[in-house]
Amino acid sequence: MPDNFTLAHQLAHRTYRAFRPEPLPEATINTLFEVARWTATSSAMQASSILNITDPNLKAQIAQICNQSYVAKAPLLLIFIVDQYRNNAITNDIGHPIETAGLPSRFFQAFTDACITAQNVVNAAESMGLGTCYLGSILNDIPQLVQALKLPQLTFPVVGLMVGLPDQDPGQRPRMDKSLRIFDNTYTVFDDYAQAIADYDVICEAYYRQRDPKIETPTFSGQLVKRLSAANPRRELILDFLRAQGFSLPERADD
């Protein structure tokens, strides 16, 4: 374990999905929001926002969209969004309307901001001994989420995050060797990926079998095949939903 407190938590990262029911202290939540506010932001535009979901009915609706019942019990539930609405409204209201807020580059600028803000909050929460779980599953039903959160044009949900005091002790999920993911200067292409991933498959198999002896696909490569074959058709409509929110993304080739 490194001496540095934050590093120790980062290197011990794991996702928690069960939390003690008590709400987080106001001061803790405010600290997390301050960390979010001070996160680096492309061109200092601050084109992302966070929705703090405190209404239990809304939490339940989001849990249903996610199809993950534990979401309803999250002590702190945050939704990170792309937010070009605010800056567009500012330029309008000072009498300088600009038509570029919906351009693809603006969307991705804000998207990156939302992602790194979320991870900064995760690092802060973990450094305080809290557990977190990202929720990509909020994107299962974007129109319903947009309506539930009253998201205006030029905004878009990116990822959800649960934060709370852990009420479980999950093991740390193994990761593939850095030789497969971190390259010097130029991209490394391996001759044989089945061979390159073989050691990691053995590590994963041991880990997943110990968690669930009946697991059918314990290897990483097996999980890959399973997950990559099971596309959610609604998730593939994301470009249509982006356009509906006012982002002028190019039409699909088959349109």
Ligand X SMILES: Cc1cc2nc3c(=O)[nH]c(=O)nc-3n(C[C@H](O)[C@H](O)[C@H](O)COP(=O)(O)O)c2cc1C
Q: Which residues bind ligand X (CB under 6 A)?
A: 13-15, 17, 66, 68, 133-137, 159, 173
Nearer to ligand X, 173 or 234 (CB): 173
Is residue 19 within 8 Å of 131, Cβ to Cβ?
yes
The smaller minimum CB distance to ligand X, of residues 93 and 212, is found at: 212
Whose structure tokens read 């995050």?
161
Smallest gap from residue 158 Cβ to ligand X (A): 9
Instruction: Give the residue with the Cβ less far from ligand X, 102 or 220.
Output: 220
* Cβ proximity of 158 and 245 under 8 Å: no
| DSSP symbol at 178 | G
Smallest separation (angstroms) from ligand X to the CB of 234: 14
Minimum CB distance to ligand X, residue 170 (Å): 6
Query: Considering the complex, what minimum distance in angstroms separates the CB of residue 73 from ligand X?
Result: 13
Q: Which is nearer to ligand X, 182 or 189 (CB)?
A: 182
End-to-end Cα spacing for the chain: 53
Asked if 50 and 207 count as a contact pair (C-beta separation under 8 A), the reply is no
Q: Is the dihedral of CA 215, 218, 223, 225 positive or negative?
A: negative
d(CA 81, CA 45): 14
- In angstroms, give the least distance from the CB of 147 to ligand X: 20
Would you call 184 helix, strand, or coil by DSSP? coil
d(CA 25, CA 8): 24
Please identify, using beta-carbon distances, which residue of 139 and 146 lies nearer to ligand X.
139
